[in-house]
Amino acid sequence: MGESEFTKKIEELTPKPRQVLMLVLQNYTDKQISEKIDASIATVRKHIQNICDRFEIQREVNGIKRNRRGDLIALVARYKPEWVSDSFSALTNNFITADTDFTQANTIPYMPQDGAERPDVSVFYGRQEELNKLKEWIIENKYQLVAIWGMAGIGKSLLAAKLVHEMEGKFDYIIWRSLWDAPAIAKFKEDLILFQDYRCLLVLDNWDTILKKGDFAGQYEEKYKEYGQLLKQLGKEHQQSCLVITSREKPREIALLEEETVSVRSLLLEGLKQDDAKAILKAKKLTGERKWSTLIHVYRGNPLALKIISTTIKELFGGDVSAFIEQSLSAVFMDISDLIKKQFERLTDLEKDIMYWLAIEQDSSFKDDIPYLEAIAENSESVSLTKLQNASLLVSPSDFLNALNSLAKRDLIEKGKATYTLQPAVWEYVRNKFTEEVCQEIQTFSKTHKLNLLKSHALKKSLDANLKEAHKNHILTLIQNRLYLEGNFQESLDAIKEMVQGKSQLEIGYAAENIENLLTAFQ
C-alpha cells in the first residue's frame, strides 16, 4: 500500500474508528480502549477488525496466521511514525502483504501486555535441555497445557521467562501473569478471550498460591476451584494456544490429564548441573574451589539456595567455600530456612510425620568422623517403603500412601525404586523442627497432658547402641541439649513416664521407650 492510498484511507475513517486506531497506536489494551470510548470490549475488537480490513491487513500469509494488530501498527509506523508509541519501535518496517516474500520478513513481534513483569533473564545459567524440551512440546508438538513444577528457589519462573524470551515471534500474543496475590480468575477474563481467539502463549506464574494449605498437594481453596476447571477445559478441548503454569506443587488436574490426553505435559525441574551451578559460585567470586562440588551437593544445585549461601560465605568466611564446609555446623541459615519453611508449613500433619520419620532414619546413618556439611552431603541413606510403613504404627496404609504421594507432588522427598530420602538441607531443617516440637511437647506436658510425636516416632533409631555415646548431631542428643538449655524438663519426663506405665503400645505408641531412652541419656 502506497502513501497516497494510506492517507486516503485514514481520511475516510469516521471519528470513532479513528479514535480507536489512535489508542491502539499508543499501546492501550482493549479494556482500556473500551473505558475511553465508553463501549464494550467486543465493540472495540470489532472496530479493530474493521480497521484492519479497511487497510487490507492480511489474516494469513502463505498459510501462516498473522498478528493483524501488529501489522496494522507497523503500517502506520511506516507513514506516520510520530503517531506510534515508542514501545512499538520494533514493529517499524515489519508490515508485510500477500505479495511480500514471507521468508524474508521479520517474525511476529511480542505484543507488550499490562500486568506483572517477567523475571530478568539477562543472567541465566544452564537449563538448555529443559528449554529444548519445552520448545519441542509447545512449538513442534503443539501441546496446549504445560506445567513447570518443583521446589522453591529451583528456578521455575526464571525458566518460564527464558522460554517466553525465546518464543517471541512464535505467537500472536504472549501474556505473562503472576498469581502471587491469588487473584480471582475473573481478573484474567480478557486474557482468556484472547487465548481463544488468537494463538497465544499465556504464562500463569506461582500457581501454588491458589492451592490449599494443610491439605494434600494440588487441592484448591474453595474460591479458586475455577482454576482447576480451567485446566480441565484447556487440557481436553482443542486449542491453538498454550497455557504454561509454574508451581511448587503439581496440580492434580495435570497428573490426571497427562494420563488421559496427549496435549498435556509437566516438567519436574531439578537442580542445576555441576558446571552450571559452579558458574553461579564463580560469578559470586567465591574461592576454595575444591569444595564447590560438596556445596552444590548439599543444596542439590538449587540456584536460589546457592546464591543465598554464597552471600553468607562471603560475609562469614571471606568467600572461602572450603572454610565454610570444614567449619560450619549448619546448612540451614535464616533465608534458606525460610525457603524450606514456606513449603513445610503447607503440609498436612501426616505428611510432616513422614518427613520426621525420614529424618530419623537418615539420622541413624550420620557419620561423625568428618566435617558436618560433608557428612550431611554424604548422608543419602535411602529408606524403603516397607520400613517407613512399619514405623507408622498408628496410621492406616491407605492414608500413609496418600500422604507419601502428596509429598512426591511437592518435590519435598527424593524417590528411588520404592525408597525415599530427604535432600541434605531439607533433612537438617526437618530434624531441627522435629527437635523443637518434641522439646515443646515435653515442656508443656504438665499443662496439656498430651503426647504426639513421642508416641508416633521412635527416637532410638537415631542412636548408636550405647546411648551415652550418641553423636552430638544425633536427634536425641539435640533434644537433650535443648532441654538442658531451656530447663524445666525433669518433672515433665517423670510425669510422662508415670502416665505411660502399664499401657499397651497400641495406646501409647513409642512413648514408653522414648522416655526411657531420654532418662537414660540424662543419667
Q: What is the pLDDT of residues 97-111, one digit of tens each?
A: 434 432 333 333 334
Q: How many helices (H) and strands (E) does the chain have?
A: 26, 10
Q: What does the mean pLDDT of the chain come to?
A: 85
User: Given a cut of 50, is residue 96 above it in pLDDT?
Assistant: no
Query: Distance from first CA to last CA of the chain, Å, rounded?
Result: 95
pLDDT grade for 266, boundaries at 50, 70 and 90: very high
- Contact (Cβ atoms closer than 8 angstroms) between residue 266 and residue 177: no
What's the gap between Cα 493 and its chain centre?
Answer: 42
- Contact (Cβ atoms closer than 8 angstroms) between residue 97 and residue 1: yes
Query: What's the grid cell of residue 337?
Result: 530456612
pLDDT value for 181? 85
| Residue where the block lists cell 517423670 | 494
Least confident of 15-29, 99-113, 117-131, 227-241: 99-113
**How much of the chain exceeds pLDDT 90, in percent?**
47
pLDDT value for 103? 31
φ, ψ for residue 267, nearest 5 deg: -120, 115
pLDDT value for 369? 74
**How much of the chain exceeds pLDDT 70, in percent?**
89
- Tens-digit pLDDT profile for residues 200-209: 899 999 999 9
- Taking residues 155-162, report their average pLDDT: 95
User: Which residues lie below 8 Å from residue 37, measured CB to CB, with a gap of 6+?
Assistant: 16, 19, 20, 23, 44
- Taking residues 313-341, report their average pLDDT: 91
State the Cα–Cα distance between residues 203 and 362, nearest whole angstrom: 39
Of 173 and 113, more confident: 173
CA dihedral defined by 488, 493, 498, 501, rounded to 10 degrees?
170
pTM of the model: 0.76
Query: What's the grid cell of residue 505?
Result: 503400645
User: Given a cut of 60, is residue 291 above it in pLDDT?
Assistant: yes
User: Given a cut of 90, is residue 368 above it in pLDDT?
Assistant: no
- Contact (Cβ atoms closer than 8 angstroms) between residue 447 and residue 459: no
State the Cα–Cα distance between residues 127 and 276, nearest whole angstrom: 8
Residue of 301, 295, 299 lying closest to 314 (CA atoms): 295
